[in-house]
Amino acid sequence: MSAGPKIATAGNRSKNPGSLPNPSLAQDKPVTLSSLAEMKALGEPIAMVTANDYPSAGVAEEAGVDIVLVGDSAAMTVLGYPSTVPVSVEEMLMLAAAVRRGLRTPLLVGDLPFGSYEVSDEQAVATAQRFVKEAGCDAVKLERGGSSVERARAIVAAGIPVMGHVGLTPQTATALGGYRSQGRTADRALEVVQDALALEAAGCFSIVFEAIPSDVTDVVMRQLDVPVIGIGAGPATDGQVLVFHDLLGIYDGHAARFVKRYANVREQMVAGVHAFAEDVRARRYPEPEHGYTMAPDERERLHQVLENRN
Ligand code: KIV
C-alpha cells in the first residue's frame, strides 16, 4: 500500500492501544463515507472489526479502527445460536444501541438480519430506518446480490448508506452448499463479480468480500471504485475485517481458515473466573480492602440500640 500522504483515519490519529482512554480522542473527527473513499484513493488500508456490546465498542474505539460492524455473527458469538439465521431485528437493535453508546469515532454499520429486508423495498427501508433511528447506526449492511441489489438501491434512495456483502453470505449458506469459500469455478466467480458490480451500481458505499479466492478479488478490484473490505478474500482489498470474538480468541466454536488469532482472551477469562471461585471456596476473598467500614461511634450506637431492644 501507499507510503504517500496519510489522511486522518481513526487508526493513525494518535490512538494509544493498551492505555486508558487517550485525551486526544476528544479531538478526533468521526470517520465518514468520504474519508473512507479518500483512504481508498490514497491506498490507506481500512481496518474494520465487529463489536456487539458497550465494552467491545470501547475497545474498538481505543484501538483506533475505522469501521465497526454490529455483525449478525453476534447471533453465534454472543447469543449462542447455531447460525446467523435466527437472530431477530430486536436482538440486533439492542446490541447495536449498546455499541453506539460506546463508540464515537469509527463509522458504525448495523447488519440487517436474515428475513428483515428480503421481502420488499418497503420492508428493507423500514428495517434500515430502525437501525438508524433506534440504534444510532451510520449505515447498514445487507448480504448477497440478486434481489438484495434492489433492496440496497431502495435503502440508499431513502438516505441511508449501505454496505454490500458478496461471496460467502452466511445468511444463505445452506443454498450455497454450506460455510465454504465461493467463486472457485469461473462461473461462480463471474456471479460474485456481477453481484459486486451491481451493488456498487445500486449505490453501496462499500462492499465486503467474504471467503473468495484472491484471484477473483484481484479481478473485481480492478473494476470497483468503492472501498472493498475483505475477510478471507486475500490481500488486494482496500481493507480487512475480522470478527472481534475470533481475533481475540473469545469464541470457542469453529474458526474459519481466514481467522488470525491475536490473543487468547477466553483462556484468560476462564483462568480469572476460576481463580475467583477458588478464592471464594478457600475464604481468601473478600479481604479487608474489599469491604466497607463504619465509624466506631456509629458501630457502638448500633450495638446499644440493638441491646436495648432485647
Ligand atoms: O456478521 C459479521 O460479522 C459479518 C462479517 C464477517 C463481515 O458479516
Q: What is the pLDDT of residues 67-84, one digit of tens each?
A: 999 999 999 999 999 999
pLDDT value of position 26: 41
Spatial separation of the C-alpha atoms in residues 246 and 255, rounded to whole Å: 7
Report how far ligand 1's centroid is from the alpha carbon of 140 (Å).
Answer: 12
Q: Whose CA is nearest to atom 1 of ligand 1?
A: 71
**Pocket lined around ligand 1, Cβ cut-off 6 Å:** 50, 69, 71-73, 111, 165, 208, 231, 241, 243
pLDDT value of position 178: 84
Element (H, E) at 241: strand 239-242
Q: What is the pLDDT of residues 140-190, one digit of tens each?
A: 999 999 999 999 999 999 999 999 999 999 999 888 888 889 889 999 999
Q: Whose CA is nearest to atom 3 of ligand 1?
A: 71
pLDDT at 14 over 50: no
**Range 43-53 average pLDDT:** 98
If one residue of 243, 251, 257, 258 were mutated to test the ligand 1 pocket, choosing by the most ligand atoms within 8 A of its CB, it would be 243
Spatial separation of the C-alpha atoms in residues 310 and 44, rounded to whole Å: 77
Q: Are 22 and 16 in contact (CB under 8 A)?
A: yes
Smallest Cα–Cα separation from 64: which of 98, 18, 4, 100? Answer: 18
Q: What is the pLDDT of residues 119-133, one digit of tens each?
A: 999 999 999 999 999
Does residue 210 carry a catalytic annotation? Answer: yes
Cell of 168: 460467502
Report how far ligand 1's centroid is from the alpha carbon of 171 (Å).
Answer: 10
**Range 61-67 average pLDDT:** 98
Q: Which one of the listed residues 62, 118, 200, 210 is annotated catalytic?
A: 210
Spatial separation of the C-alpha atoms in residues 211 and 185, rounded to whole Å: 13
